[in-house]
Amino acid sequence: MRIAVIFGTRPEAIKLAPVINELKKHHDVLVVSSGQHKELVRPVINFFGIFPNVELSGINKNRTLSELASFLIKELDTVFKKHLPELVVVQGDTMTAFVSSFVAFLNKIPVAHVEAGLRTYDKYSPFPEEMMRRMIGNLADIHFVPTEIDRENLLEEKVDPSRIFLVGNTVVDALKCSISTLSKEKVYSELSAFGIGENILENGKLVFITSHRRENIGKPLEEICDAVKDLAVKYPEITFIWSLHLNPDVRRTVKKVINGEIKNIHLIEPISYESTVYLIDRAFLVLTDSGGLQEECASLGKPVLILRKVTERSLVVSSGAGFLVGSDKERISYYFEKFLGDRDFYMKVSNRGKGLFGDGKSSKKIRMILETFFKYKETTDFSKKEERGLFIN
């Protein structure tokens, strides 16, 4: 089979890397990088060895979402017409994933959606991701869902149940690969550039922070910064490491509120996936509005305070592995101090997330299902999955 696997952002690249490497063992894989977040994607490409056959270029850094969509429609249409893939694989909820699915549909190419079925049912939260994944759901031919909740979401939307496959989340595959090959020396070297020494990393109590959601930009992000500042002043023995997003509005706000006066807060540039995994694994607690980090924290047994009002990773919250705190200073402080002062509570929360997102074999399951799909691609009825070697678990 000739399969086009397309990514444009760092989370897409991370979660599709194990899929690409699994598919390459058996098939002709066309790896396409859309250039949506070119700077952040390159280290992931190098780490996992998923070097693109096609890299789109020419995206203006200051482009609007509409301009990005227009650019991708034209460029991806050219790619599909030139390389003629038999299947397009996309991941998640980005503009790259949506446009790839849309252009594949226009060219009558089947679409497989990895990490399907996630929903908040709030049109503007997260924006624009919620509507991206809903539209991909309408375009996709095969839906690979991470959890039972995601499968139920698609069933509620009348998606053909024979096209939905519960495979877990490929982020666990990526984590296992990263942890098995992680080089502490490289991590120490990278983080030392930001004044974070080996002694702090090995012996200190760490809090890892990220925030980039559009709905947090402005006053909510200022409130999050204020909460972090207050905690850092109150607990000078704890090191707070905040990985800044490249979005200039995010950077401006964080640097304005956290201006370097508090010595145990380190504002650092975006770091490699290897160092990110290390910091999550070493952290006492993670504060983030990232979707992927919620899954990674749960899988690594790290409590997470979710800096959002709603999350499509609802299993993290319903299982008690993480807590929605938004930008509420009181809630952030309450859970922070609860984790700090109640060891039993901390351990219970740490253990709740393990295994929520699968066993690290999602990529192999996806590959086997796709092979069976192509074996029976002339047949539209997939209801007799067992007879055709398809499986859900």
The catalytic residue positions are: 93, 115, 129, 212, 214, 245
H or E element in which residue 243 lies = strand 238-243
What angle, rounded to 10 degrees, do the helices at 362-375 and 10-23 form? 60
Cα dist from 42 to 9, 38, 246, 267, whole Å: 10, 6, 14, 22
Residues 1, 265: Cα–Cα separation, whole Å: 50
H or E element in which residue 175 lies = helix 170-181
Q: What are the percentages of helix, strand and coil residues in the chain, rounded to 5?
A: 50, 15, 35
Q: Where are the beta strands (DSSP E) in 70-196?
A: 87-91, 111-114, 142-145, 164-166
Residues 227, 242: Cα–Cα separation, whole Å: 13
Q: Where are the beta strands (DSSP E) in 70-171?
A: 87-91, 111-114, 142-145, 164-166
4 within 8 A of 89, measured Cβ to Cβ: yes
Which residue in this structure is represented by tokens 């309450």? Answer: 334
Continuous H helices in 258-361: 273-282, 291-300, 314-318, 329-341, 343-352
Strand partners, 287: 209, 305
Return the sign of the alpha-carbon dihedral for residues 9, 286, 47, 249. positive
Residues 100, 332: Cα–Cα separation, whole Å: 38
Phi and psi at residue 214, to the nearest 5°: -60, -35
Per DSSP bridges, beta strands 111-114 and 87-91 are parallel
Cα dist from 214 to 125, 127, 218, 220, whole Å: 9, 7, 9, 10
| Number of Cβ within a 10 Å radius of residue 203 | 7
Residues 140, 183: Cα–Cα separation, whole Å: 38
